[in-house]
Structure 1
């Protein structure tokens, strides 16, 4: 079977990601968003990323690098990261992946709540209007993020069949690759903005840097998916159908 290279990510999904990142920029430039409002918008974004990762874990059916049986000790708990024994060709949510999805929801949920406490309680981050968070515009920004990441889920994960090449354990780690580095950068930027004598300009720079990091993380995530697909199609890892045929 020949393999034809495809774009790392759908141009539509990439455009939607950039558009979602433009919403906070508009808020900063034209509607005087405070730093705290920006941090709340990014906190909600990290929640969207984690929420959408749950169905991704449930649908992941690739074998990964560890073969058919994979376990790991995470925070003192033994977690079975093995892929489904009989994966289907089409998208399917596997009951066997539910413990991995549940563990991720708990672990990532704690991370998200702690991040939220940090964002909501540090009023020193507010620039101009202390504690002022315009809930409707920030909600619109969160909605744009949901559309962006939801669209990427439909186009890339489902449409490009990324679920067939990634294991549930590997999918569990994907948001951490993207969110932790991104939001540590945002927090560092928040301290720099709070200490800046030109907060509006500094906020614009912060949004632009965050957008560039987000786009880079998006492209790397789907580049990894492309490499897995290439390896699978070229015989580095047998396809699920080939494996079934060989055992018949």
Structure 2
């Protein structure tokens, strides 16, 4: 469940997350744009996951097993991608709406305009951090994905659910942080948030948790088949 050894990617993760912490505490950066970046991190990881699933579909297998009510059927990789985009997209929409509402960042009742205003809300520091996050997650994710042919081994269903555990933890903490922003405690909370985020990213082995969940599901299905 827990990682025992840190990698170069883990040390880079520490640096990437300490940059906004340093900026808010010692350079006078506004905490709100930084929290928006962390909120947008969900979108970055989702887009990367779609690209990974497309690579599996195009390079490895066009179809994979889809579990539905205990029955397994073969579905196109594009079906997995479509389902992920709809399901994950709804999740992102709900999370961002809660964050924007609690943090007081909704500027109108028009949903499209609220999202269109994100670049202006980010400001220079927020845009810088967003670019850093995009670069880090792109390099880190695709290096691990293609290293040792990992993309050839993972199933589409496993890849589809890979981001959820990590993002659930992250977005829960971001939403809690939005409450702190309304009380002017963003500087304090970003310290707590970054430390909590680094802890979960470094010491919780999400891939192992997902593998254990997948194994338990397979065992339940085998027991049902024998019954």
TM > 0.5? yes
Alignment of 1:23-42 (within 5 A): 23-42=19-38
Q: Which residue number in structure 1 is paired with residue 96 of structure 2?
A: 116
In angstroms, what is the RMSD of aligned CA positions? 3.7
Is the alpha carbon distance of 1:177 and 1:19 closer, same or farther for their aligned partners in structure 2, counting shifts above 3 Å? same
Query: Hey, what's the Cα distance between the residues in 2 that align with 1:150 and 1:10?
Result: 19
**Unaligned 5+ runs, structure 2:** 106-117, 213-227
Mapped contact 1:100–1:169 kept (Cα < 8 A): yes
Q: Count matched residues.
A: 194
Q: Which residue number in structure 2 is paired with residue 97 of structure 1?
A: 77
Distance apart, 1:39 and its partner CA: 2.1
Query: Hey, what's the Cα distance between the residues in 2 that align with 1:26 and 1:182?
Result: 20
Deviates more, 1:24-33 or 1:40-49: 24-33
**Unaligned 5+ runs, structure 1:** 1-6, 84-95, 126-130, 228-248
Q: Which residue number in structure 1 is paired with residue 163 of structure 2?
A: 175
After the TM superposition, which segments of 4 or more aligned residues of structure 1 sit over 6 Å from their partners?
7-10, 224-227
Query: Hey, what's the Cα distance between the residues in 2 that align with 1:121 and 1:192?
Result: 13
Q: Which residue number in structure 1 is paired with residue 197 of structure 2?
A: 210
Q: In the TM superposition, what whole-angstrom CA distance separates every residue of 1:160-194 from its partner, at most 9, and x where no partner exists?
A: 32212221011111111110122112322443565
Distance apart, 1:122 and its partner CA: 3.0
SS of the residue 2:68 aligns to: strand
2:133 to 121, 142, 145: 145
Distance apart, 1:134 and its partner CA: 4.2
Q: Which residue number in structure 2 is paired with residue 165 of structure 1?
A: 153
